[in-house]
């Protein structure tokens, strides 16, 4: 539906470039270093914010609450514990306290605005975003590797 928007085409090109850069830099022993991290973080944050604009706030909130409700408590607690310190340090905290329940998380999500979500996106430190992206790419490579079952 939004494929004709120039911003989305540019975003797609940027993501493909980012993935290519990641693969090439791994092959070349990470020569790009900090510049690579900065590029990864910039593209991922732009992608998240673009997704927020084009998907719609209410849809994102509903999807997030649904995913949280479907999670078992152990997975929720593990995932939340990984991001809570960054959200708690962000401006306006919004109640992201340690040990938050799924019901409390849903209440916070319902109250979020686009601006607040954008601030939360920016609150995760660049090294953490880059590391999460690398982990995601490596997991995807392992899932698609023809040698993974050997």
Amino acid 124: pLDDT: 81
Instruction: Tell the burial category of 124 from Cβ atoms under 10 Å away from its Cβ (0-12, 13-18, 19+).
Output: buried
Q: Are 80 and 105 in contact (CB under 8 A)?
A: yes
Q: What is the pLDDT of residues 55-112, one digit of tens each?
A: 888 988 999 899 999 999 998 888 888 877 877 666 556 677 888 899 998 998 899 8
User: Which 3 state secondary structure label does DSSP give 92?
Assistant: coil
pLDDT band, residue 27 (cuts 50/70/90): very low
37-59 burial, b at 16+ Cβ within 10 Å, e below that, comes to bebbbebbbbbbbbeeeeeeeee
Q: What is the pLDDT of residues 112-146, one digit of tens each?
A: 888 888 888 888 888 888 888 888 888 777 766 56
């Amino acid at each position: 539906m939004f494929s004709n928007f120039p911003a989305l085409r540019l975003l797609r090109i940027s993501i493909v470039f980012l993935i290519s850069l990641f693969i090439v830099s791994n092959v070349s022993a990470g020569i790009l270093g900090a510049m690579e991290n900065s590029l990864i973080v910039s593209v991922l944050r732009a992608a998240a914010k673009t997704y927020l604009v084009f998907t719609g706030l209410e849809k994102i909130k509903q999807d997030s609450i649904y995913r949280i409700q479907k999670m078992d408590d152990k997975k929720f607690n593990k995932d939340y514990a990984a991001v809570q310190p960054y959200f708690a340090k962000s401006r306006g905290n919004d109640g992201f306290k340690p040990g938050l329940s799924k019901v409390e998380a849903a209440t916070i999500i319902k109250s979020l605005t686009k601006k607040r979500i954008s601030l939360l996106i920016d609150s995760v430190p660049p090294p953490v975003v880059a590391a999460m992206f690398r982990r995601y790419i490596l997991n995807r490579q392992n899932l698609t590797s023809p040698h993974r079952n050997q």
